[in-house]
Amino acid sequence: MKLIPLPAFNDNYIWMLHDGHAAVVVDPGDAEVVLDALQQLELKLQAILVTHHHGDHTAGVSALRESTGAAVFGPKIERMPEPLTRLGDGDHVEALGLSFSVLEVPGHTAGHIAFVVQPAGQDTILFCGDTLFSAGCGRLFEGTAAQMLHSLSRLAALPESTRVCCAHEYTASGLVFARMVEPDNPALLAYQDQVTQLRAQQLPTLPSSIGLEKAINPFLRTHIDAVITRIRQMDNSARDPVSTFAALRTWKNQF
């Protein structure tokens, strides 16, 4: 299986997984980007997976369905381009001879879902939409801090080798904020150097990994004493896991 990030708009990635014959795409905000890749690689689109309803993730769905006949799968409680199969926690999508598991991860939106798949002989892949970014997480547009904290904890429980396929190239800016939270974290400094080199060559910083994110992402580290102390320096109302996470997200919003 080959995993490819297709750049779209200013900083989106439409993820494509293919076996050399058929493909699955995740969050196709731009149909033309996908159609061009399908033609170049001589692939047939088998399925379209959608994590949430925002337009930069869904705008290309109808055109792709009409052009390719691919089946569409998305969250059960959000506005979606019809027709599609709606999915909830524990459901599965069968495509490319693989089983994509569905996790409900509300927070960024009320019905956001993620897809997890493990190709034979390869590390697990997580398509997390806008829930988890490298060194960051999505804004709380519709959900609560408690929901997002729980959603991120579910993702953090995946195997550390899991490849994290975020939907945006936000890594460099996320690391600037992460360094504000944990200026003495050596893993952050090393990763920032790596990301700087990749972006200088206009290369993607993704996929990341769950193990890496647990080492450098402040939103997965709100249980770490040094992170708690720093957040409380900024907001003394942070007194429990949820209020600490909420204070961190508010700080990032204002950063």
Q: How far apart are CA 23 and CA 43, in angstroms?
A: 6
The secondary structure of residue 14, as a DSSP letter, is E
From the candidates 18, 27, 53, 54, give the one annotated as an active-site residue. Answer: 54
From the candidates 27, 30, 52, 112, give the one annotated as an active-site residue. Answer: 52
DSSP for 83-118 reads S-EEE-TT-EEEETTEEEEEEE--SSSTT-EEEEE-
Q: How far apart are CA 68 and CA 211, in angstroms?
A: 37
Cβ neighbours of 182 (radius 10 Å) = 19
Q: Could you give the C-alpha distances from 85 to 10, 135, 138, in angstroms and in order?
A: 29, 32, 25
From the candidates 18, 112, 150, 168, give the one annotated as an active-site residue. Answer: 168
Q: Assess whether 92 carries a catalytic annotation.
A: no
From the candidates 27, 56, 112, 150, give the one annotated as an active-site residue. Answer: 56
Q: Assess whether 18 carries a catalytic annotation.
A: no
From the candidates 53, 108, 112, 150, give the one annotated as an active-site residue. Answer: 108
Q: Assess whether 21 carries a catalytic annotation.
A: no
From the candidates 53, 57, 112, 150, give the one annotated as an active-site residue. Answer: 57
Q: Assess whether 223 carries a catalytic annotation.
A: no
The secondary structure of residue 235, as a DSSP letter, is -
Q: Assess whether 168 carries a catalytic annotation.
A: yes
Q: Assess whether 56 carries a catalytic annotation.
A: yes
Q: Assess whether 123 carries a catalytic annotation.
A: no
From the candidates 27, 30, 130, 150, give the one annotated as an active-site residue. Answer: 130
Q: How far apart are CA 98 and CA 50, in angstroms?
A: 17
Active site residues: 52, 54, 56-57, 108, 130, 168
